[in-house]
Structure 1
Amino acid sequence: MHVTFKQLEAFYVSVTHASFSAAATKLHATQSAMSKRIGELEAALGVQLVHRMPRGLVPTQAGNRLLGLAEEAIRLRARIAAEVGRSSEIKGTYRVGVTELIALTWLTKLLRELKGRYPALQLEPVVDAGMNLFEDLEANKIDLVVLPGTFWGDAYKAVEVGRVEDLWMASPHLALPDRPLKPEEFADYPVLEQSVGSAKNTFYGAWRREHGFKFGKVFATNSLTVLRALTIEGLGISQLALDYFAADIEHGLLRVVKSDPMPPPLVYSAVYRNDAFSPELDVVAEACRLVCDFRRVQHDLSSSLGGDAVPHAHSAVDAGRPRSGDF
């Protein structure tokens, strides 16, 4: 009897995903390769392991007994690679999804850090709205996503990589009371938000409902840079990452709008499947935790203002007027 790890892996992933095609996508192989490996495993063990049913693959009685053992084998291999293996054994190509805020801040630092430590590890970044990224993770189109949220279901591992104060902000020229706003008072002012599909809105949705936040006019955009420009222009109140927009506050383009209560910190997590059993994804998640930094590099502010000079307070609105460089 000769049983290989690839056969056990193909069997486990095919059964847990109930599909040869889904397993092939997950393991970066072909559907025929998945079927062949399981056939070879059945021949080696002398038993049938799966039933091919209309609703998908279903394990036989023998298959159910093997399922737990196959999981143990995959976990042990991942542990060996993580604890004993050389850095050269961290390799492969993985698709990593990130939100726009991450792409504008620490994505390049992450890629540079991992490339320097693990030359054989290749990351393919995908930038999109958080909920779109999670849908791709569910469909096995992406291996790991970094997005707001702490729990994405029992099938997923969520590693906290960082937090950011996500506060209400507005232009100093927008007429607002000089006191914390009550939740119901937000309905009196335009609110600017990221479009449907934002994981941040999902994260804060329950909190806003719990505290009775009410919005009247809501304007949405799928671009953080556009949201910044519109907020600076004075078109409404936005909830924005303090670290990223600190320079705008310092230069008088934005101010924090206090509320009662204030929003809790926004938690970002690296999310990937529990059954991935990949030391590479553990390495990527840990690297995200180490490099996570939502501060904007200074040259970004300078370029958006059209030069190095800091605008005077009376010209803050003009300096923040949307222009081609902002988009």
Structure 2
Amino acid sequence: MNFTFKQLEAFLFSARLQSFSAAAVKLHTTQSAISKRLAELEESLGGPLLHRTSHGLELTQVGRELLPLAEEAQRLWQRIAHDISVDKTLRGTFRVGVTELIAMTWLTRLIQLLQKLHPQVTIEPVVDAGLTLFERLEANKLDLTVMPGTFWGQAFESIKVAEVEQVWIASPRLQIPARALKPHEFADYPVIEQPVGASKNRFYEAWRAEHGFRFGKVMLTNSTTVLRELTISGFGLSQQALDYVRPDIRSGLLRVVKSDPMPPPLVYSAVYRRDNVSPALARIVELAVKTCDFTLRASQHDVAPARALQRQRAAKRAKKPAGITRG
């Protein structure tokens, strides 16, 4: 029996992604190279490991026995490459799933910081609803997701990134009482919600049921931007991150609607498969915790530093003594 790690790696990613072409993209090679390595591995082991179906590649009995060993070999190879090598540079391309709110606030800063500290690590961001992102993570189409939720099963590691204060908000034109609404009173007002695929809904589902929240007319939108705009326009009240809508509250476009009880903080977690951890992936999670901040919208990231620089220059000019002219 004589096979290489590249052959084992070709099998591992073909099995995870259920596709030779997807494995080729992940390993930065060609589909023919992946097929060749797998054929050589199968010849060395004396039997087929994968077979094609209408749903993609599926493991044979031998393949199912080999998969956990291949995953263990990959983890050991990563440790050797990082711990023993003189070059400790982190590298690799990682598919990271985020919700729209993250994409509109701190995702840009995460990518910028990562490029600065680890230029050979690349993030390929995917923006979608939380539950859809988790389905992609389950199918090995993502390496990491950052989304609401705390526990996603024994096969997944969940690292808390942040706790985000959530509040009910509405346009002042709805004339909702200033006092705290009881859960059953929410049925008297239109509510704007995200669809079932939003992991935020799953996070609050049990809490709302426990306290008897009831909604009457509900308008659904899968866009955080549209959710905010509809709320500002007075179509209904919604539940959103306080940090994100704080500028709208200060400007009078929105107001906080109190409830009894108020929603608990929404926990955002970085979630990845336990069998797919690497030093680079762990570093991405660490930087996600560091940069997570919903107070700035993406369009403000470049504007705020520029305005600060303008203010500094204006202050210096104001302090500069007037020149003396000679006559």
- What's the TM-score, normalizing by structure 1? 0.78
> Once the 2 structures are TM-superposed, how far is the Cα of residue 259 of structure 1 from its aligned partner?
1.6
> Once the 2 structures are TM-superposed, how far is the Cα of residue 270 of structure 1 from its aligned partner?
1.9
- Native 8 Å contact 2:104 2:298 kept in 1: no
What is the distance in 2 between the residues matched to 1:94 and 1:182?
45
> Once the 2 structures are TM-superposed, how far is the Cα of residue 51 of structure 1 from its aligned partner?
6.5
AA in 1 matched with 2:273: R
What is the distance in 1 between the residues matched to 2:34 and 2:116?
34
Match of 2:132 in 1: 132
> Once the 2 structures are TM-superposed, how far is the Cα of residue 99 of structure 1 from its aligned partner?
1.4
Deviates more, 1:279-288 or 1:132-141: 132-141
Deviates more, 1:230-239 or 1:8-17: 8-17
> Once the 2 structures are TM-superposed, how far is the Cα of residue 131 of structure 1 from its aligned partner?
2.7
> Once the 2 structures are TM-superposed, how far is the Cα of residue 190 of structure 1 from its aligned partner?
0.7
- Native 8 Å contact 1:149 1:203 kept in 2: yes
Match of 1:75 in 2: 75
- Native 8 Å contact 2:103 2:298 kept in 1: no
Match of 2:278 in 1: 278
Q: Deviations over 1:94-125 (max 9, x none)?
A: 22222121112111100100001111122222
What is the distance in 1 between the residues matched to 2:167 and 2:249?
12
| Other structure's SS at 2:197 match | coil
Match of 1:123 in 2: 123
Match of 2:322 in 1: none
Number of residue pairs matched by the alignment: 299
Q: What does 1:1-327 align with in structure 2 at a 5 Å threshold?
A: 2-15=2-15, 23-24=23-24, 27=27, 30=30, 32-44=32-44, 47-48=46-47, 50=49, 52=51, 56-60=58-62, 66-83=66-83, 89-296=89-296, 300=300
Q: Who wins on radius of gyration, i.e. which is larger?
A: 2
- Native 8 Å contact 1:172 1:254 kept in 2: yes
What is the distance in 2 between the residues matched to 1:167 and 1:50?
52
Q: Quick one: structure 1 residues 227 and 14, their matched pair in 2 at CA, closer, same or farther if it must change by over 3 Å?
A: closer
> Once the 2 structures are TM-superposed, how far is the Cα of residue 25 of structure 1 from its aligned partner?
6.1
Q: Quick one: structure 1 residues 84 and 230, their matched pair in 2 at CA, closer, same or farther if it must change by over 3 Å?
A: farther
AA in 1 matched with 2:161: V
- Native 8 Å contact 1:14 1:57 kept in 2: no
Gaps of 5+ in 2: 304-327
What is the distance in 2 between the residues matched to 1:141 and 1:299?
29
- Native 8 Å contact 1:245 1:296 kept in 2: no
- Native 8 Å contact 2:99 2:146 kept in 1: yes
What is the distance in 1 between the residues matched to 2:155 and 2:31?
23
| Other structure's SS at 1:227 match | helix
Gaps of 5+ in 1: 304-327
Q: Deviations over 1:223-268 (max 9, x none)?
A: 3233223222333211010111222223333222222222121111
Name the Cα RMSD after superposition. 3.2
Q: Quick one: structure 1 residues 75 and 131, their matched pair in 2 at CA, closer, same or farther if it must change by over 3 Å?
A: same
> Once the 2 structures are TM-superposed, how far is the Cα of residue 188 of structure 1 from its aligned partner?
0.6
